[in-house]
Structure 1
Amino acid sequence: MTTAPIAPTDRDDSRRDYADVVRALGTLAVVMIHVAGGGVALFDTGGDRAAWWVYNVADSACRWAVPVFVMLSGALLLDPAKTHEGTGRFYRKRLARIAPPLFFWSAFYLWLRWFLPGHIPFPATPEQALKTFLFANPYYHLYFLFVMITVYVFTPALRRITGSSDTATVRGYAFVALLFACGDTLVRSRYAFPSNVFAMGVPYLGYFLLGYSLRNGATMNRTRWLCGVGLVASVAVTAIGTAWTMSHWHGAMRQYLYNFFSPTACVMAVCVFALLAGATYTSPIARTLRPVTRLLSDTSFGVYLVHPLLLLLAQRQGFGAERMAWWLYLPGVTACVLVASIVLTRLFQATRVTRPLVG
């Protein structure tokens, strides 16, 4: 009998790779949403309608990004085997990870709103500043940090559920939670009811549970085929439906299908996560791309935090959808913002003082 260490199997390596791929593609999708959003916003200007459709399809095709990030957290954090960690230790670890970026980037982006007036109003009074935090809106992307706080608060309790229930039961809980989340979103969009820091993350618990229940992904050919069809169909319905709602509806309902809890976004997120979680990453192409996916994975949180700054600076220098052809703006600005965000994140990660600010 040999005493040599056992090498990890390809499947074990694929499990690490699947999480990296989810983070990498999710990061790219988030940046794409915000870049394409600049073109979608031109709908009422009467500009190039063909270009608008490109932006709309690109935006629609990326609406799975944030839900899938939450689903990945569920797949990784709700493992019943982690119950030995202890609630206090879990909270201390998560607080140490989420508190520094929450306070630093909230303050930074509030300062940015003051320093570069016009793009987002600055809260001019203490009451307005308080409302900014109560509605989780220091800047348009920072709501995600408040969402993750809620998810972390409920994780120890949800671990008990996953530890005492079979996968089908957990999946049932998740679908019921998502159903209520979809209803809540529809009502709030229709009647313009804003969410707040105490309630904002609760709807995402459905995605969180669903990520755990789908952690093994779509492994059968028939299931993968159904997920592929569901993905294409949900993107198409989102894009076509958004074109219609922007022409006929008003207020938040104009872009209702872009919401992460619209029916099409839910289907899209489930299909993407199941496909990525069920895939194996042992092909030559996957091995070749592994350094890239791991770089994006390692910098994903930082890229999420800093990319709106770099996108704003690019647009202030004239690199906006209203001034550039779509074929140059969409891929060019996305690539430049993504690369610059990775570089900036690496600079933050290079020192012990600034590393906690990017997770």
Structure 2
Amino acid sequence: MTLFVFIKEKYMDITFNETISPTAVKTHTKVNIIWADACRVMAIFGIILIHTSAGFFYQYETLSTFGWASAALLDALARAAVPIFIMLSGALLLQENTIFNAQSMGRRLSKIALPLVLWSIFYFQYLAYVAGLPYHLVSILQTPAMYHLWFVYMMLGLYLLLPFLQILYKAMQKRFNLQLYFLALWLIIYALPIYVHLPILNLMQMQLFGYGGYFLFGRWLLDITKNNTIPTFWFGMLYLLGVFITFMLTCIFSHQAHQANEQAYLYFSINVCMAALGGFAFCTRLRLSKTITKFIRQLSDKCFLIYFMHVFVLEQVRYNMYVQYFTTQLPVGLSILLMSLIVFSLCVAIAFLIRLVVRNKYVLG
């Protein structure tokens, strides 16, 4: 038994804890949040995988059935990445000892706002160059410069709601019935209408806590996983069940529509919610050996920067003649994985180079 423990600690990179000690959630101690760093890195790769898969997913009529299904499955596997990103922010920010005042709010908002402005200008210039699209700086206040930047606008909104979300979290923390009520209400308002048409919900104007719900779920799940002994296995199974339902519904809806249908991919759908909750809870139990901890931290530190640039890098890789030739020789699934790895690797390399020149995260992310 002693030999097994020695081998496990010495050579196995990834382990899981069935419970989390209270000290494991103190975000001020870097050693204790390696699970969060690993979660962030996996989420950013998942987002790259989603956007890479999309180029194949919408070729429903031209790809073989197996090829298209491969793209749909990879997309389903990664679809929880965006909600997990949001839950991670909620888990780390919604704490009893966190103080939200004008200074702290200004610091958090500027950490997002300035990079958003600079990267928006970059993408507006890029689109003007490749497509001749005109723009004005005021456009930043009207529409995202590139499709993936919607996420940054959404995070700005959540940061503005932080004081209210913290008050709600503290109230829920003391009352389990309130937790169940909020979860049920969130599912009815946001998840159910994706599959069941309920016009009355629009009339009631109950749209305040959409992504804020995921923000609260992140902290709620972290509290749950540290205070009980639910086996990690079941969190993994919940994620896989959500992925399976997402994939099957996507195949069914697309077959019925005779074209790619992404209804089941919506971030508020119950199936994506299941995958996100299971995947995030699974990540909170993740532990890494010291041999790769430093590298994961370095990658995690660059994730926001990688998020901003990855669409530009993906465009260059996707339309590169050599990449196109090579990937056409491979099955669709392998092509998507290879392109995603290339994009991720290039983004990491560029991010490290940028940080050598611009060390301040508040500038470019």
Normalising by structure 2, report the TM-score.
Answer: 0.80
Length, aligned pairs only: 329
| Distance across 1 between alignment mates of 2:334 and 2:112 | 36
How far off is 1:23 after superposition? 0.3
Deviations 1:69-97 (Å, cap 9, x if unpaired)?
110111111112113xx420122111220
- 1:101 aligned onto 2:107: no
C-alpha change, 1:229 and 1:39, in structure 2 (3 Å) is: same
Judging changes above 3 Å, is the alpha-carbon distance between structure 1 residues 320 and 354 closer, same or farther for their aligned structure 2 residues? Answer: farther
Per-residue deviation, 1:331: 2.4
Q: Look up the match of 1:72.
A: 88
After TM superposition, the structure 1 stretch with the greater mean CA deviation from structure 2, 216-225 or 64-73, is 216-225
Letter in 1 for 2:210: P
Q: For 1:195-214, list aligned pairs within 5 A.
A: 202-214=209-221
Structure with larger RCO (C-alpha < 8 A, sep 6+): 2
1:270 aligned onto 2:277: yes
Contact map agreement 1:227 1:274 (CA 8 A) in 2: yes
Q: After superposition, what is the alpha-carbon deviation per residue over 1:127-171, rounded to whole angstroms, capped at 9, x for unaligned?
A: xx977853x432110001111011001101221222344263346
Q: How does 1:175-190 map to 2 (within 5 A)?
A: 175-183=184-192
Q: Report deviation, 1:186.
A: 5.8
> After superposition, where does 1:252-267 map in structure 2 within 5 Å?
254-267=261-274
Structure 2: distance between partners of 1:159 and 1:42: 44
Q: What is the match of residue 30 of structure 1?
A: 47
Within-5 A mapping of 1:208-247: 208-216=215-223, 218=225, 222-247=230-255
Asked if the contact 2:238–2:274 (Cα under 8 Å) also holds between the matched residues in 1, the reply is yes
CA offsets 1:40-68 (integer angstroms, 9 cap, x no match): 121122x2221221111111001110101
C-alpha contact (below 8 Å) 2:241/2:274 kept by paired residues? no
| Cα separation, partners in 2 of 1:229 and 1:98, compared to 1, 3 Å | same
Gaps of at least 5 residues in structure 1 are: 1-7, 194-198
TM-score normalised per structure 1: 0.81
The answer as to 2:103 corresponding to 1:89 is yes
Corresponding letter in the other structure for 1:93: R
User: Any gaps of 5 or more consecutive residues in structure 2?
Assistant: 1-20
Shifted more, 230-239 versus 261-270: the winner is 230-239
The residue aligned with 2:76 is 60
Pair 157,222 (structure 1): closer, same or farther in 2 beyond 3 Å: closer
Quick one: which of 305, 315, 318 aligns to 1:315? Answer: 318
Measure how far apart 1:233 and its partner are.
1.5
Distance in 2, Cα, partners of 1:334 & 1:166: 39
Q: Say which is worse superposed, 86-95 or 325-334, in terms of deviation.
A: 325-334
Deviation at 1:216, TM superposition (A): 3.5
- Counterpart of 2:293 (choices 290, 295, 303) is 290
Cα distance in 1 between the residues matched to 2:363 and 2:342: 22
| Match runs of 1:320-359 below 5 Å | 320=324, 323-325=328-330, 326=332, 328-352=334-358, 355-359=361-365
1:163 partnered with 2:177: no
| Partner Cα separation in structure 1 for residue 360 and residue 329 of structure 2 | 35
Which amino acid in 2 is paired with 1:272? G
Q: Give the CA deviation at 1:347.
A: 2.2
- Give the counterpart letter for 1:54 in structure 2: S
Alpha carbons 1:150, 1:202 under 8 Å: kept: no
Higher alpha-carbon deviation: 266-275 or 89-98: 89-98
Matched with 1:4 is: none
Aligned match of 2:15: none
What is the aligned-residue RMSD (CA, Å)?
Answer: 3.2
Matches of 1:142 and 1:55 in 2, distance apart?
23
Separation in 2 of the partners of 1:200 and 1:139? 25
Report how far residue 100 of structure 1 moved.
Answer: 1.1
Q: 1:183 to 1:233 in 2, by over 3 A?
A: closer
Deviation at 1:296, TM superposition (A): 2.1
